[in-house]
Structure 1
Amino acid sequence: MTRNARWGMTALALTLSTAACGSGDASDEGSKPAPIRRISTSSNEFTPMELEVTIDRLVTELNRRPSRPMQMAILLKEASGFWSPVVKAATRAMGELGVLGSVIGPIAEGADDEERVELQNRQIEQVVADGAEGLGLAPFNNVQTAAVDDAIARGVHVVTLDTDVPTTRRSLHVGTLDIAAGRTAGETLLAMLPPAPGTVILHGSEDTEWVNGMERTLSAREVLEAAGYEVLVRQATWTSTGEAEDVEWMQARLGSADPPVVGMLGLFNISYRCAMAAEAASKLDIPIVAFDFDPKTVDYMRQGRIQATHIQRQYYQGYLVPYILYGINSIGLEATKQILIPLLVDGSRVNTGVDVVPADKIDAYNDFLGSIDANQ
């Protein structure tokens, strides 16, 4: 058996959930199928009402039509941490819809980037061969065009989430739009800064091969530079030595930048490294704004070292994708897009937005996540 064959078997065996029955099933032969009924969510200050209202409108329209059986698959990069709410939400949505579906999770540990892409391409081929009519896909980058377009050519509707493959014929993308998210993060920090001049350190990415990270970083940079600040960008790294290297680089700039550093902004889940660098440089009064909700970030927020963070609504990404796939299959792509107009950008991207969470709202936000079963 080749190494490639072993990879395929490892990943495809990790099916995390299956929803074979749901609200669309008839209780007995000849009875009218039950309408789709969403599990109710409590409303509070963090509830994204525009998202909730749009989903309700889609459900209302779907319930005007006879329910129909459908098979779908959701392929993710991982299944824990950041991805745990996606798994829970996609599973919940498929159960409400009554579709046959699987959330296929973690890529085998130890795989390098090339192997991860190859493996996910094999997963795409497998779920299509198994009869999936709709595919929700969190791709690794815009390098999986052939696999996606091949699935589409075989009649499968593809909706991407988190990361996009925009050069394919995928139906829609659902996720945090990075230009808007970066702008929001820049504006959050800007409100905490003293008047310019001053230097701001961005823990981000200007890697042109990672479009999402680059767009988020450049849009945040534009906000801060337009306000008169100098901006230094540290290329975030996730290697085994990346943390030490990131902290050392930022610590050195905190001590040497001219004009002095007046703020720091982290744009990814390892944003807490900004606080580590500030501590190492004994610059404890510098405002720091973060991204995502890593436990280390939360700890620094509780200590008062990080003033706010921006959290991607990955639960809603996972929840929306099965509903959109079902909508395309039931009422068609254009009718589904019409309902999604409040969230739609340039006709093909659904913006789920970000939650801005200040340090004094951590417990309230945790309560919100608990209410929708979206804790990481």
Structure 2
Amino acid sequence: MTTIGRCSMAAFGLIMTTAACGSSDTPGAGTELPRIDRAPTPENEFTPVELETTVDNLIIKVNEGTVEPMQMVVLLKNLTPFFASIATGASRAMGELEVTGNVLGPTDQSSDTTTSQDIQNQQIRQAVADGVEGIGIAPYGDINGAAMDEAVAEGIPVVTLDGDVPTSKRSLYVGTINKSAGATAGKTLLAMLPPPPGTVIIHGNLGTSWADGYNRTLGAWQVIEAAGYTPLVSEAVFHEDETFDVDSIKSRIEAADPPVIGIVGLFNVSYRCVMGADAAGIPDVPIVAFDFDPKTVEYMREGRIKATHTQRQYYQGYLVPYILYGIKTIGLDGTKEILAPLMDADADSTVNTGIDTVPFDKIDAYDDFLATIGVIQ
């Protein structure tokens, strides 16, 4: 696996080699390792008990057989705070499993997406050439499908996380189910609203080319409309200059009929909903958000954002090495049987890590939870 590190460092940056880092440290094939024995996660009101229990059950099943050495790699889009939490989880799991492997990603998101996609495809192929036995990947999309399928054709299981390529031959997807996540955010806001009629602004995405954003928006739209309110989407703009985004929210609020009585933001820039509401002269409108951006937290502490919804990216990273190891030792079907409590009812290849709903008065409790798993979001 050292070749992967050398190949990727110059172009992409390297985070953490785990456990045995070179081939000379790797036990020979068929060598039985000590039983897997992970330290329990301290309990907190935000601890995902079902998820933690599922990992424990997978370890129990794996320990019934021969625990063998393994090489794997986890490839991320970047190492910004969102993906840094994934890297922490993946590295911890790989250390507990005592596998040989790397977690790789650039320290900065390249402005040239095509170049980043090409490099990720190169990393997949290099990992295959280096004899990797499992690949976890946060893919850019269909552009990675061919390289992923090449790995599968070589007998190497591939598990996606954060984003998915469902048309590929990957074994499983691990992450947020965006339609249900959007519905959850919508329901959080509904509990704060007066009876209909009224318009609810959704800071979301209606472009079907970004399936995750579209599905999250659709989930919120459907629960809001079903409750008798009028949903109105303000398309999120992720440019660093917030002006256009804020002006768009303001114009939607001013044009709404009936008047706006609530706002739900569905992405990490959800804090801009507060700015848009202020610009439109409705500072007291209930607002709920998504993710845990520092500006979102600041507005929560001021009581301006009533709740946010965070993806469990640490657990996405943490699960993937255990799943890859499970596929190697007890097979895909055996692994899926253990993962059944987390599997999406509508997709038998999707592992739902869920989301956390964090009220504005629970920020400190959530920070305490993050401290127990050693991440910052």
What is the TM-score of this pair, normalised by structure 2?
0.92
Q: Give, in angstroms, the shift of residue 10 of structure 1.
A: 3.0
Q: Which segment is superposed worse, 288-297 or 60-69?
A: 60-69
Q: In the alignment, does 2:39 pair up with 1:39?
A: yes
After TM superposition, list the pairs within 5 Å mapping 1:199-278 onto structure 2.
199-241=199-241, 243-278=242-277
SS of residue in 1 equivalent to 2:143: coil
Please name the residue that 1:56 is paired with: 56
Q: Distance in 1 between matches of 2:255 and 2:213?
A: 26
Pair 75,97 (structure 1): closer, same or farther in 2 beyond 3 Å: same
Q: Distance in 1 between matches of 2:55 and 2:261?
A: 42
Structure 1 spans left out of the alignment, 5+ residues? 1-6
Q: Distance in 2 between matches of 1:26 and 1:10?
A: 25
Equivalent pair of 2:234/2:248 in contact (CA under 8 Å): yes
Pair 107,117 (structure 1): closer, same or farther in 2 beyond 3 Å: farther
Equivalent pair of 2:86/2:313 in contact (CA under 8 Å): yes
Q: Which segment is superposed worse, 223-232 or 355-364?
A: 223-232
Equivalent pair of 1:11/1:108 in contact (CA under 8 Å): no
Q: Which segment is superposed worse, 139-148 or 91-100?
A: 139-148
After TM superposition, list the pairs within 5 Å mapping 1:31-110 onto structure 2.
33-106=33-106, 109-110=109-110
Equivalent pair of 2:32/2:67 in contact (CA under 8 Å): no
Pair 108,190 (structure 1): closer, same or farther in 2 beyond 3 Å: closer
The runs of 4+ residues in structure 1 deviating greater than 6 Å are: none
Aligned residues: CA RMSD: 2.0
Q: Deviations over 1:305-355 (max 9, x none)?
A: 100000000010000000000000111000000000001122100000000
Q: Deviations over 1:210-256 (max 9, x none)?
A: 11110010111000011111111111122244x21110011122233
Percent identity over the alignment?
55
Q: Distance in 2 between matches of 1:15 and 1:100?
A: 15
SS of residue in 2 equivalent to 1:253: helix
Q: Distance in 1 between matches of 2:31 and 2:280?
A: 70
Equivalent pair of 2:267/2:289 in contact (CA under 8 Å): yes
SS of residue in 1 equivalent to 2:221: helix
Q: Deviations over 1:13-72 (max 9, x none)?
A: x221112349xx999xx9973211112211121111110110000011111112111100
Please name the residue that 2:283 is paired with: 284
For 2:228, give the aligned amino acid: G
Equivalent pair of 1:205/1:236 in contact (CA under 8 Å): yes
Please name the residue that 1:3 is paired with: none
Q: Distance in 1 between matches of 2:89 and 2:9?
A: 26
Please name the residue that 2:182 is paired with: 182
Pair 95,189 (structure 1): closer, same or farther in 2 beyond 3 Å: same
Equivalent pair of 1:107/1:116 in contact (CA under 8 Å): no
Please name the residue that 1:18 is paired with: 17
Pair 234,334 (structure 1): closer, same or farther in 2 beyond 3 Å: same
Q: Which segment is superposed worse, 119-128 or 361-370?
A: 119-128
Q: In the alignment, does 2:103 pair up with 1:116?
A: no
- Alignment length, in residue pairs? 364
After TM superposition, list the pairs within 5 Å mapping 1:289-328 onto structure 2.
289-328=288-327
Q: Distance in 2 between matches of 1:350 and 1:240?
A: 33
Pair 142,61 (structure 1): closer, same or farther in 2 beyond 3 Å: same
SS of residue in 1 equivalent to 2:289: strand
Q: Give, in angstroms, the shift of residue 269 of structure 1.
A: 0.6
Structure 2 spans left out of the alignment, 5+ residues? 1-6
Q: Distance in 2 between matches of 1:290 and 1:222?
A: 17
For 1:223, give the aligned amino acid: V
What is the TM-score of this pair, normalised by structure 1?
0.93
